[in-house]
Amino acid sequence: MTDLDRRAFLKTAGLAGAAVATGAAGAAAGCAPAASGPRAQLDPASLAALAEVVLPEALGTDGRARAVHGFQAWLAGYEPAAERTHGYGTGELSYTPAHPGPGWAAQIQALDLESQQRFGREFARIEAASRRDIITRQLAHERGDRLPDPADARHVAVGLLAWWAQTPDATNLCYGAKINPYTCRRLAAQQQKPPALEGS
């Protein structure tokens, strides 16, 4: 990844973070397995179309598909009112918010409604520039200075980006190397520099 590409990636993440209210950090919240149901699934085609304009272009088709699948799996396993891991040095407990699925599903329906009214087609079937325009309009009144915890995101577009930004793929793309955080490495490999990503 060139310096220009890295700046573009960071700018994308920064702009999305500035469009939302500040939330608590920690992707682990609400990750315990739970029964999936209608509330836990978002329309795959609409979510894929959303990912194409929200996630960095450098991910490519396969990377975006992987992100959408992971986001759906996280949402299906989300547990409301689950105890969150508290910060170091404090015993104060906090709990995950209500399930974001129903609200996000309603927002995806709103994307389709606006797209139908303005362009005569569903959100997933309009061109990327038009999709980006709709998302920008819907996030215009949101405020914040960083990406929230995914479950605290007030809009599904921000929830998707916030979830992805805490994955190993995001770290690898940012640094242009296969760092793969949150995975175990052999002790013998600790002194070795992570290999560069293909195309970086």
| Mean pLDDT for the chain overall | 80
pLDDT digits (tens, 9 = 90+) for 72-86: 999 999 999 888 777
DSSP state letters, 129-164: HHHHHHHHHHTTT---SS---GGG-SSHHHHHHHHH
Nearest to 126 by CA among 114, 138, 137: 114
Query: What b-and-e string marks burial along 39-71, b requiring 16 or more CB atoms within 10 Å of the CB?
Result: bbebbeebbbbbbbbbbbebbeeebbebbbeeb
The pLDDT value given to residue 177: 86
pLDDT digits (tens, 9 = 90+) for 142-171: 877 789 999 999 999 999 999 999 999 998
The tokens for 145 are 């200075």
The pLDDT value given to residue 39: 52
d(CA 94, CA 97): 9
d(CA 198, CA 103): 38
The pLDDT value given to residue 157: 96
Whose structure tokens read 């469009």? 19
Dihedral of alpha carbons 124, 135, 147, 152, sign = negative
pLDDT digits (tens, 9 = 90+) for 50-103: 999 999 999 999 999 999 999 999 999 999 988 877 767 777 888 888 999 999
Q: Which residues contact 117 (CB under 8 A, 6 or more apart)?
A: none
d(CA 69, CA 67): 5
Say which residue, 139 or 193, is predicted with more confidence.
139
pLDDT digits (tens, 9 = 90+) for 102-133: 999 999 999 999 999 999 999 999 999 999 99
